[in-house]
């Protein structure tokens, strides 16, 4: 590692300003070069391309595919705010944004707190941390789709500050941190003291462009944090992101390998808690871990995705055709189920609030890049988009408690759902969802179901109306019998 990277990080305001100045100088030099190169030397260009090809990194293959991406323009233009941090920058993508300069200074306070606590037992701790990150810097860089040309020394320091900040924040928000450190945590934790700030930072930490590789966070925590009665990293994470843990998953026995916190958020939507027997898992768990859900499907034999003709009927139209909508007992978004015989469609619930759109959009963007055919969140939202075309459809699903609308207006909620899939690449839908769509289309086309539904809605929708209808039928039958008897008497 170079001397500059091994030196102790400056923890005052000047140190932070120097880091910003360094990144700006890099931008300035790049701009000057661009301005002075108005004419392109074709011969030099050919040489540069050849040299670039010959000197390419041998690691740059499919085995080092990035897992942290910049959201492309065609998705960002639909709702740029959903992908952009509001308060704090993590990693290289938004590091040069001066809107986050104040929070960069706050990060250094967290690093200082870590140093003051840990260096009493190990004076050279920060240098060891820097060396650890420096040894892994190429692996860390390979996790990003672009590192924006940060020099190695600067990149290493940036990752160190961000990782320590995250871990110190998690520790300060963990209720069982040992009392010897709790007062120190609370005295410097301005984020925890301000609920609005904690809420904003929590959301920022799950945005796709605002990630650190989980592997480096784990290495630093396991090897350099010596807090007494230290909780596991998974415990810290589950406690900090508990409001996003829609299935109330437990950290015990958590087996899914996550790449970063956006990946964790996706897991919260899909992964069901393991049962007492490790041999028994729900369908969600098998799909996410890549383990076979049944003997007929292995981890490398996913059912083929096919384009399905869109669901022909909205929720209201299906309801009028006799489909009964019910909230699924499972909160795993894969557990969508349609019982054709009884006409019952069970759908896992979804909450729509101020942060829900940002969380869902970032998970969907992650699926677009990294998960191939395992785009299960996208599939669920496509089905929901098929069902919800008007505020009346939204009102129906809210009435069945399938959608919990904290946005207030059904029109707003409908617009949010309909826009989620805008510009999203769709390779086809998972076979289970495809079968459900086809069954719903078939059910909606059957006139018998519609006639039965009309009878239910018009004549049997309340006990009193049902009783009156039955009485009218009986009276009609008695009148008919009396008429027939009268005819026979005359004959």
| Phi (first) and psi of residue 488, to 5 degrees | -65, -35
CB 410: neighbour CB atoms within 10 A?
20
CB 195: neighbour CB atoms within 10 A?
9
pLDDT tens-digit readout, 318-377: 998 889 999 999 888 888 999 999 999 999 999 999 899 999 999 999 998 876 668 889
| Phi (first) and psi of residue 235, to 5 degrees | -60, -45
| Average pLDDT over every residue of 143-162 | 92
pLDDT averaged over every residue in the chain: 80
Rounded to 10°, the helix 391-399/410-420 angle is 100
Q: 461 vs 112, which has greater pLDDT?
A: 112
Alpha helix ranges (H) inside 55-176: 73-76, 101-118, 125-135, 137-142, 152-172
* Contact in structure between 93 and 70 (CB atoms under 8 Å): yes
Query: Do strands 344-347 and 324-327 pair parallel, antiparallel, or not at all (unpaired)?
Result: parallel
pLDDT at 256 (0 to 100) = 85
- Name the residue with tokens 């909230």: 327
The span from the CA of 312 to the CA of 387, in Å, is 9
The contacts of residue 263 (CB under 8 Å, 6+ apart) are 67, 214, 366
- Name the residue with tokens 């104040």: 102
- Give the whole-number percent of the chain exceeding pLDDT 90: 48
- Does the pLDDT value for residue 121 go beyond 60? yes
State the Cα angle at 264 between 134 and 202, rounded to 5°: 85
Q: Which residues, listed in sequence order, are joined to residue 403 by a DSSP beta bridge?
A: 350
- Does the pLDDT value for residue 120 go beyond 80? no
Structural tokens at position 314: 């909205």
Name the band, by pLDDT with cuts 50, 70 and 90, for residue 123.
Answer: confident
Q: Which residues, listed in sequence order, are joined to residue 346 by a DSSP beta bridge?
A: 326, 337
Provide long-range contacts, Cβ within 8 A and 24+ apart, for 383-387.
383/311, 383/336, 383/433, 383/436, 383/437, 384/347, 384/350, 384/417, 385/417, 385/418, 385/420, 385/421, 386/310, 386/311, 386/314, 386/437, 387/311, 387/314, 387/315, 387/318
pLDDT at 14 (0 to 100) = 56
Task: Give the range among 4-18, 138-152, 287-301 with minimum mean pLDDT.
Answer: 287-301
The span from the CA of 30 to the CA of 94, in Å, is 18
Q: Which helix (H) or strand (E) holds 350?
A: strand 350-352
pLDDT at 370 (0 to 100) = 74
pLDDT tens-digit readout, 371-424: 666 888 998 999 999 999 999 999 999 999 999 999 988 999 999 999 999 998
Query: Do strands 337-339 and 344-347 pair parallel, antiparallel, or not at all (unpaired)?
Result: antiparallel
pLDDT at 87 (0 to 100) = 96
pLDDT at 296 (0 to 100) = 30
pLDDT at 52 (0 to 100) = 54
pLDDT at 275 (0 to 100) = 42
pLDDT tens-digit readout, 45-103: 666 666 654 444 444 444 568 999 999 999 999 999 999 999 999 999 999 999 999 99
Q: Using only the alpha carbons of the chain, give its radius of gyration.
A: 29
Structural tokens at position 480: 């008919």
């Amino acid at each position: 590692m170079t001397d500059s990277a091994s030196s102790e990080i400056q923890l005052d305001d000047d140190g932070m300003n120097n880091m910003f100045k360094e990144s700006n100088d890099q931008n300035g030099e790049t701009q000057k070069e661009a301005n002075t190169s108005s004419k392109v030397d074709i011969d030099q260009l050919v040489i540069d391309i050849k040299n670039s090809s010959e000197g390419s990194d041998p690691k740059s293959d499919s085995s080092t595919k990035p897992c942290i991406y910049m959201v492309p323009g065609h998705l960002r233009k639909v709702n740029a705010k959903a992908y952009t941090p509001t308060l704090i920058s993590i990693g290289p993508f938004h590091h040069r944004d001066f809107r986050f300069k104040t929070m960069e200074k706050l990060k250094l306070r967290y690093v200082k707190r870590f140093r003051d606590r840990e260096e009493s037992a190990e004076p050279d701790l920060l240098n060891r941390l820097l060396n650890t990150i420096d040894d892994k810097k190429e692996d860390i860089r390979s996790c990003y789709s672009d590192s924006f040309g940060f020099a190695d020394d600067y990149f290493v320091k940036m990752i160190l500050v961000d990782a320590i900040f995250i871990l110190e924040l998690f520790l300060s928000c963990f209720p069982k941190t040992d009392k010897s450190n709790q007062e120190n945590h609370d005295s410097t934790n301005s984020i925890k003291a301000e609920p609005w700030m904690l809420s904003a930072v929590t959301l920022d930490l799950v945005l796709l462009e605002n990630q650190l590789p989980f592997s480096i966070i784990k290495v630093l925590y396991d090897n350099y944090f010596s807090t007494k009665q230290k909780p596991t990293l998974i415990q810290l994470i589950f406690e900090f992101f508990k409001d996003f843990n829609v299935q109330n998953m437990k950290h015990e026995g958590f087996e899914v390998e996550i790449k970063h916190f956006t990946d964790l958020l996706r897991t919260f939507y899909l992964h069901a808690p393991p049962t007492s027997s490790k041999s028994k898992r729900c369908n969600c768990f098998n799909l996410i871990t890549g383990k076979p859900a049944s003997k007929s499907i292995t981890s490398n034999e996913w059912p083929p995705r096919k384009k399905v003709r869109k669901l022909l009927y909205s929720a209201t139209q299906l309801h009028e055709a006799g489909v009964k909508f019910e909230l699924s007992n499972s909160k795993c978004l894969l557990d969508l189920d349609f019982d054709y015989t009884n006409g019952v469609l069970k759908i896992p619930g979804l909450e729509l609030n101020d942060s829900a759109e940002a969380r869902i959009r970032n998970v969907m963007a992650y699926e677009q890049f990294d998960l191939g055919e395992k785009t299960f969140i996208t599939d669920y939202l496509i089905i929901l988009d098929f069902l919800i075309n008007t505020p009346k459809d939204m009102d129906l699903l809210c009435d069945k408690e399938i959608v919990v609308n904290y946005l207030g207006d059904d029109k707003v909620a409908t617009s949010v759902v309909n826009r989620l899939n805008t510009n999203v690449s769709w390779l086809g839908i998972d076979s289970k969802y495809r079968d459900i769509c086809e069954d719903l289309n078939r059910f909606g086309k059957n006139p018998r179901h519609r006639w039965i539904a009309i009878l239910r809605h018009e004549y049997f929708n309340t006990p009193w109306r049902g009783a009156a209808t039955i009485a009218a039928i009986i009276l009609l039958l008695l009148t008919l019998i009396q008429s027939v008897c009268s005819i026979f008497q005359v004959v």
